[in-house]
Amino acid sequence: MTAHREHLRGAALVAAAALLWSSSGLFIKALPLGALQIAGVRSLVAALTMAAVVRLRGGRPFPRPDGLSLACAASYAGVLILFVAATKLTTAANAIFLQFSAPIYLVFLEPWVTKRSLQGRDLVAVALCLGAMGLFFVGRFEAGSFTGNALAVISGVCLALFALTLKLKRERQPDADPISAIILGNLLVAALCLPFALPGLRPTPLQSGMLLYLGVFQIGLAYLLFNAGMKRLSATAAVVTGTLEAVLNPVWVFLGVGERPSPYALAGGVLILATIAWYTLRPSPRRPAAP
């Protein structure tokens, strides 16, 4: 029962993070700024927010990074930059649904890292999601939309790598706070984007408030919640719980700016979410105990 309560608590924390994440599409669409400008400023504010929280807790926000921390930070930076760029180039629904193909990559990555053999249900889930991802590209041969969809797919790979490296860091370095790797990832995004973003960046007070919200709450607070939830969940379970973001993100964008995803994209998104739910909720076949 204690393990079950801890699992539910972890899922609740990740769900709260996903609720904050889901507002990104609306603000990215509403802000009349470039992708690099949004990503750079948002991540700089997020890094400062998380560093301040860690410092207030008595921790070290900027410890010397090791290889695992750098891998976690690099994959995290890929998630943020690619998702903002994808949302600018394609619909918010396409960007978020394709990014949340991440559990399918984890189907292969986690067994490879943990030395667990693949099962038939793993391959069925992958085949269904790959077919669903193909629906997003139906009728989307314009340069912008096709590029945006492709960037969203790559952001999904980065999300899978980020979830896995964050989990490995927590397991292999239990005395280290993984949030430092997320802070480092935000600083990496800021370092990569701001040199190109600052020239010509003149946000209005309203736009500045939106950027502050994205940095403090949509990224900063959200990843603090996600990090806390990861203590109690597997990498795959955390990403699957985070699919709540994929459900809400297009809703906020539709209500805010009236953007409608194509019927093919909606069908693909429903198929991806249904496949992930089936794969997660259906119990795995028990293996015979070793003699």
CA–CA gap between residue 229 and residue 167 (Å, rounded): 11
Instruction: Tell me the per-residue pLDDT of 81-103, one tens digit each, with 9 for 90 and over.
Output: 998 999 888 888 788 777 877 77
User: Does residue 58 surpass a pLDDT of 80?
Assistant: yes
What is the structure's pLDDT at 1?
58
Instruction: Please choose, from the candidates 73, 117, 115, 136, the residue with its C-alpha nearest in 3D space to the C-alpha of residue 271.
Output: 136
pLDDT band of 3, cuts 50, 70, 90: confident
Calculate the average pLDDT of the chain.
82
State both tokens at 56: 């207030």
Q: Which DSSP state fits 234? A: -
pLDDT band of 281, cuts 50, 70, 90: low
> SS in 3 state form for 161-205?
HHHHHHHHHHHHCCCCCCHHHHHHHHHHHHHHHHHHHCCCCCCCH
User: Which of 27-31, 65-69, 120-124 bottoms out in mean pLDDT, i.e. has the lowest?
Assistant: 120-124
CA–CA gap between residue 138 and residue 146 (Å, rounded): 10
User: Does residue 253 surpass a pLDDT of 60?
Assistant: yes
User: Does residue 15 surpass a pLDDT of 60?
Assistant: yes
What is the structure's pLDDT at 42?
94
What is the structure's pLDDT at 77?
93
Q: Tell me, rounded to whole angstroms, the distance of Cα 138 from its chain centroid.
A: 24
User: Does residue 74 surpass a pLDDT of 50?
Assistant: yes
What is the structure's pLDDT at 109?
77
Residues 6+ apart with CB under 8 A from 127: none
- Percentage of the chain beyond pLDDT 90 is 26
Task: Specify the DSSP element, H or E, that contains 48.
Answer: helix 35-56
Helices (H), the chain: 2-21, 24-30, 35-56, 67-89, 92-99, 102-114, 120-135, 143-172, 179-197, 205-213, 222-230, 235-241, 244-257, 263-281
